[in-house]
Amino acid sequence: MSAALPMNPTPSASNPGTASLHQGVGRKPPRNATTEPAWVKYTLIGVALAFLTLFLFVPLVTVFYEALKKGTDVYFAAMVDADALSAVKLTLLAAAISVPLNLVFGIAAAWAIAKFDFRGKNVLLTLIDLPFSVSPVIAGLIYVLVFGLQGWFGEWLREHDLKIIFAVPGIVLATLFVTFPFVARELIPLMQAQGVEQEEAARVLGANGWQIFWRVTLPNVKWALLYGVILCNARAMGEFGAVSVVSGHIRGQTNTMPLHIEILYNEYQFAAAFAVASLLAGLALVTLVLKYWVEQRVKAQVRGAHERGE
């Protein structure tokens, strides 16, 4: 006659599954590392919204309020002033020259760094980041030292009746310096992540360098390229420090929009200053809308690639 089995068997080393089952009874499931109580989430959201309201939304609304406080007649009179129109044209001209040049530089630098190994690669990366660490004022002083009348090339420039400092070429050079990292810095990480497999496959199939660039590389980076161009353009239009040093603040000739706003404000022409500032803020808002649109397109592209299993 067999012995009766115990009604409540205790877990033993010979039955680890039963031991684990008994140990897990009554325990709460482990909480995800990113899961926090609701009050923490809403507190962080509230802090972020308060910060944005205090330092972004309120100043932005104030700019448009002050610009229109004295009426639309004063507002439009400030906008069509000859000096204001000259500042707008010079700002757009500097951006129109510097952005395409930075586009070419950014593509070339990103292609070289991401697709090739060469001596001095890390040095090139460091130099690309230089404008992020050097004050724009220092950049302007460097151009004055090199191209000013008392600078290294000053005598040669006088002999050939060329003027760079306190003229449009100096403003373009200063704008180029402070904006050239933006396109390259958007493209380099993406190109490095993509690798060179597709380019190598195209080469094996008989494509030449230009065909590889236009049909393989460029389509893969087009949204990052557009994103970098938008950021570069925004910085070009809003640059103050470097341009202020090399411009000379000549009314109607070398004043960009930020410089013109500063002069109007220092002369206590607050309505006119805020009117021009509202135009610059409006351009910034357009840039943000374009930036958001590009980000959504990039997300849609990535989502589509995941759905296709790429």
Q: Output the pLDDT for position 15.
A: 54
| C-beta of residue 177 within 8 angstroms of C-beta of residue 245 | no
Q: Output the pLDDT for position 200.
A: 82
Mean pLDDT of the chain: 83
Confidence of residue 1 (pLDDT cuts 50, 70, 90): very low
- Confidence check: pLDDT of 164 > 60: yes
What mean pLDDT do residues 130-140 have?
A: 89
State pLDDT tens for residues 110-131.
988 888 888 888 888 888 988 8
Question: pTM for this one?
Answer: 0.78
Q: Output the pLDDT for position 34.
A: 61
State pLDDT tens for residues 194-232.
877 888 888 888 888 788 888 888 888 888 898 899 889
Q: Output the pLDDT for position 21.
A: 46
- Confidence check: pLDDT of 90 > 70: yes
- Confidence check: pLDDT of 106 > 50: yes
Confidence of residue 31 (pLDDT cuts 50, 70, 90): low
What mean pLDDT do residues 277-288 have?
A: 87
Q: Output the pLDDT for position 126.
A: 87
With 0-12 CB in 10 A as exposed, 13-18 as middle and 19+ as buried, what is 27? Answer: exposed
| C-beta of residue 242 within 8 angstroms of C-beta of residue 177 | yes
- Sign of the C-alpha dihedral computed for residues 95, 96, 101 and 107 taken in this order: positive
- Confidence check: pLDDT of 188 > 70: yes
Q: Output the pLDDT for position 32.
A: 57
- Confidence check: pLDDT of 71 > 90: no
Q: Output the pLDDT for position 168.
A: 92
Question: Kind and range of the H or E element at 257?
Answer: helix 257-266
Which DSSP state fits 217? I
- Sign of the C-alpha dihedral computed for residues 285, 286, 289 and 290 taken in this order: negative
Confidence of residue 256 (pLDDT cuts 50, 70, 90): very high
Q: Output the pLDDT for position 306.
A: 67
What mean pLDDT do residues 62-84 have?
A: 89
